[in-house]
Structure 1
Amino acid sequence: MQTSGRTGHKYFGTLINLLRDRQIFLEEIRQGIKLPSKIFSLLICSSIFLAIYGGIIGASHSWMQALASSVKLPVLYLMTLIICLPTLYFANIIFGSKRSLGQYFALVLTAVSITSVLLFSFAPIALFFIITTNNYQFQILFNVIIFGFTGFMGISSLYKASNIVLEQEGEGLETRRKIIRAWLFLYAFVGSQLGWTLRPFFGNPGSTFQMFRQLHGEEGNFYLSVVKSLIYLLGFR
């Protein structure tokens, strides 16, 4: 039990160091200090927080949906990272970056971890609205706002972090900053569409449990579906 407690303290201690002493944490990433340990700890902590939030929003439908969502939400963020990371890495390498793939991986994981902490902080509020309202469209839009806000904060922190980790790399620095800004839009776009592909995370109260929902026509597009939900909630049919 003591060994397990020390291990848990180590993992969460890494996350706390990121939140409390971000400048020092990012400087260690820039120098390549204990990268495997940092990566593994951030993966564990962010996955736990994301799983908790996923389980809460899935509980609005059934225990099976809660279990499925607790798995799919961490998978969503990890898959988005894996899909987009090669673009960030090789685009920067072409323009002179000397950082390793592990450093870029750890850098993006800091943003995922911050996002997961923010989602975890919103978990009680999400649970409150699940208990007090049965409006499915409201639940979708409310959580789109939460995911949008936490994602924006995570992306903002990533941009600031990249300026610290990638500084002092000589020529091409300004070009790489432009690449990062463009990549952040790509990351957000891929993440939102992938999240729509992996749905449902809630599950329609009037339907049976589904691990994944079939996509066809405009239902396969996240942005069109959000507009439709907003129109419906405003009373237009």
Structure 2
Amino acid sequence: MRRTLGELDRILRGRATTADAMRGGTIRIPTVRLGVLLIVLGMTYGVSMGTFAVTNRADAAPMQLLSSMLKVPLLFALTLVVTFPSLYVFNALVGSRLGLPSVWRLIIAALAVMLALLASFGPIAAFFSFTTENYAFMLLLHVVVFTVSGVIGLRVLLRTLERLATTADADEDDDADEDGAATVGIGAPVRGVFLIWIIVFGLVGAQMAWVLRPFVGNPDAPFAWLRERDSNFFESVWTMLTRLLLSSGVG
């Protein structure tokens, strides 16, 4: 575990994604060990989400705590299962030299940043769970935390692609000299594909969270592992924001 935490620290500090560390056009990280750590980090934030049900004496609060703990890593896993195939196919269609292992390592590195940030926000989320009874506020707080963590994690993905592009330039020049034609490396088309995928990942992740709800646990509703699939994530956020503003006397 100590070695895995060391690898996570390398990613967070940017040492795993420096130009020197990515010689050969790939990022070198232990994906299996990091994957296990990512599950633990997701479960850590899930516990902080479930504490609202415990502190507000919601129905079956321990079950809500367990449910939230399991659902956060499941949310990221299912979102990745849904979106990763399209990323790899589009990446191949634009002629990228990034193979399946390289693309997978890039995504794991981005998720490592995302979930490390998410877990670091856990004590803050738990603090508000202990100090407020406003369900709408807690929902919106978690939306903000997920959004901030996601944006930063996916920015790391794009920044790593930029660094990979510089390390691949020399190899592309060598290929052009040997073969008489340059191969497509990690240029603008590939970055464009990843940018589109980031948007898709965010949209799918948001709706996946809606499908897997509840994460927080409404103190006025009975416990359920899953709610009925009515409405959608974005409509729900707007409803909660309106409710929060009305309860605070704004508008």
Root-mean-square deviation (Å): 2.1
Q: Which runs of 5+ in 2 are unaligned?
A: 54-60, 173-182
Q: Which residue of 1 aligns with 2:216?
A: 202
Distance 1:54 1:93, change over 3 A: same
Structure showing the higher helix proportion among its residues: 1
Q: Which residue of 2 aligns with 1:5?
A: none
Q: Which residue of 2 aligns with 1:156?
A: 155
Q: Structure 1 runs of 4+ off > 6 angstroms?
A: none
Distance 1:145 1:65, change over 3 A: same
Please give the alpha-carbon distance, in whole angstroms, between the structure 2 residues aligned to 1:12 and 1:80: 24
TM-score normalised by L of structure 2: 0.83
Question: Which amino acid in the other structure matches residue 154 of structure 2?
Answer: I
Tell me if the contact between 1:11 and 1:44 (Cα under 8 Å) persists in the aligned partners.
Answer: no
Q: Is it true that 1:10 corresponds to 2:3 in the alignment?
A: yes
Q: Is it true that 1:39 corresponds to 2:31 in the alignment?
A: yes
Q: Is it true that 1:193 corresponds to 2:207 in the alignment?
A: yes
Q: Which residue of 1 aligns with 2:16?
A: 22
SS at match of 1:234: helix
Tell me if the contact between 1:15 and 1:41 (Cα under 8 Å) persists in the aligned partners.
Answer: no
Give the total of aligned pairs. 224
Please give the alpha-carbon distance, in whole angstroms, between the structure 2 residues aligned to 1:202 and 1:98: 42
Question: Which amino acid in the other structure matches residue 3 of structure 2?
Answer: K
Q: Please tell me whether Structure 1 or Structure 2 has the larger radius of gyration of its CA atoms.
A: 2
TM-score normalised by L of structure 1: 0.87
Q: Is it true that 1:171 corresponds to 2:171 in the alignment?
A: no
SS at match of 2:5: helix
Q: Structure 1, residues 35-63: CA drift from partner, whole Å, max 9, x if none?
A: 5xx11122111111110110121122111
Q: Which residue of 2 aligns with 1:235?
A: 246
Question: Which amino acid in the other structure matches residue 23 of structure 1?
Answer: T
Q: Which residue of 1 aligns with 2:177?
A: none
Q: Structure 1, residues 122-173: CA drift from partner, whole Å, max 9, x if none?
A: 1111111000001100100111111111111111111111223355264372
- Between the two proteins, what is the percent identity of the paired residues? 31
